[in-house]
Chains A and B, each alone.
Chain A
Amino acid sequence: MSSLEDVRKQEWLNNQPVRLLLSRKLRSTTLFLKHEVQDRHFPPEFTQLLLRVLSLPGRLLSRPVMQGQLVDTGDLRLWALLAMCAAISASGTQPDALPKLPAAFWRRVRAISAAAEMLGAGLDLIDDIQDGDSPFVEEIGIPTALNIGLALIELAPLALDRARSAGWHDVLADAALKTMHISLLASLGGQFLDLRFEHTHAVSEAQILEMTGQKSGTLLSLICQLGAMGGSLVDQKSSGEYFEAMSQLGWHLGLWSQLLNDLRDAEGAQARSGKTDRRRHKKTLPLVLEEHGMMQTAPDVEKGSLPNLLAALSYTFIAAETIRLRATKMLQTIEAQFGPQPFLWPFLQMWEEA
């Protein structure tokens, strides 16, 4: 990619007025989130715990943008921001025209972004329960954590439904709700396989990739679709094709991120103690490749050797990078068919941690 393209594809991240506006919209999303939780009249302690989960590290409520800073690259992993940017992209709005979007659009997007954040928080918590490696879950106990996780997942469709009162056409709202249920079920199927594989000896690369795609790809596919549906008009003739393209893009984003997550765990596990994927016998791509042995061209190299480990990590990196590059090509195709999508490009870049 040329440097000019680099600049164009990071355009809105270098545009202060756009960052300021998106920062405000994210803060507005958190207010909506808090109201959605508080309006349910749960027991006060339950409400507090729900808000605490929504404020755990990595979640929207914990980000510096909530303390008045501008949205930054570190926020690109927020599902709420992805949903928001997918909605803006679907509306065909370019950075300079962002302030012209009507208030009803932002109310819709706020509800959809809040639903995305609730889903992310709820699913992460249940994942933590299953992995057994979260100090927070240890502190509050598994039964309470399960209760909170389920409540957050149940709150998500209710938040999504609020977008109807902001002019979201029933056709799109109904389709979004159905997509949410179907995607969650598909992801749960992938999560089941992930857990089952921990007790299965022979698991192939193809099975791992299929499971990872089902577990993680499906979720970001969902977030991209929800955003796209929130930003579209019901009478747009090409909307079905656009939703499918966004679904595919999100699926690749999800698989890419999960492979990097697995890679990070496998690479860092050498230096860490605790409940890593390796100790739990998780069947992630790098660990399965290492176990199978990567050195076909040098059969005398032992499976437990450093070259074998490095080869397994490298293959996983290439797999993740290939998925990212396929997603990049997809976004180029989307742009060719539907026009510029500048708000989506930063999600496909590899950022150095700030």
Chain B
Amino acid sequence: MTHPHLSFSSGVAQIVSRLFSDISFRNDALANPELAFAHYSLEEEERQAITNLLGKIGPDGSFSLKAESLSFWGA
């Protein structure tokens, strides 16, 4: 098997950091993620994954991934 692509753009960590330290950035991201992340260089899948994460953050900043309730592959 050829070695799979295993890294993530540095923009992902920068965005995550700001989401939990900068309330106005978080509000902007919740309102219009495309605009808020426009300056970051991200892969298409990373951009979509961050958008999917935003769906789990409430407007008041409350937050739960609820990973406990998600079905997944047990390895």
Contact = CB atoms under 8 A, between A and B. Distances in A.
Contact of B75 (A257, A311, A324): A257
Given A267-B65, A307-B21, A310-B20, A321 B52 contact: yes
A295 B17 contact: yes
A181 to B, nearest CB: 14
A350 B71 contact: yes
B8 A322 contact: yes
A321 B75 contact: no
A253 B12 CA distance: 21
Contacts of A213: 4, 6
Interface residues of B, number: 39
B67 A315 contact: no
Interface string B37-70: 0000001111011101100100000011101111
Interface centre among B53, B70, B71, B73, by most chain A C-beta atoms within 10 angstroms, is B73
Contacts of A248: 1-2, 4
Contacts of B22: 297-298
A238 interface: no
Interface residues of A, number: 60
Contact of B45 (A264, A295, A325, A353): A325
Given A325-B48, A353-B69, A307 B20 contact: yes
B6 A258 contact: no
Contacts of A217: 4
A318 B53 contact: yes
Contacts of A76: 71, 73
B12 A209 contact: no
A297 B73 CA distance: 34
A211 B22 CA distance: 33
A311 B5 CA distance: 23
Contacts of A310: 20, 63
Interface string B6-41: 111000111011111110000000000000000000
B48 to A, nearest CB: 6
A198 interface: no
Interface centre among B44, B45, B52, B64, by most chain A C-beta atoms within 10 angstroms, is B45
A67 interface: no
A264 B71 CA distance: 10
Interface of B: 1-2, 4-8, 12-14, 16-22, 43-46, 48-50, 52-53, 56, 63-65, 67-75
15 contacts: A74-B71, A206-B7, A209-B6, A209-B7, A213-B6, A256-B72, A267-B64, A267-B68, A294-B16, A297-B21, A310-B20, A314-B19, A314-B53, A317-B65, A322-B43
The 7 tightest CB contacts between A and B, nearest first, are A257-B73, A298-B21, A321-B49, A325-B45, A351-B71, A216-B75, A307-B20
Given A297-B17, A298-B22, A314-B19, 13 more contacts: A206-B7, A213-B4, A213-B6, A244-B2, A248-B1, A248-B2, A248-B4, A256-B73, A297-B22, A314-B53, A317-B65, A318-B46, A350-B72
Interface of A: 58, 73-74, 76-77, 124, 206, 209-210, 213, 215-217, 219-221, 244, 247-248, 251-254, 256-258, 260-261, 263-264, 267-268, 294-298, 301, 307-308, 310-311, 313-315, 317-319, 321-322, 324-326, 329, 347, 350-354
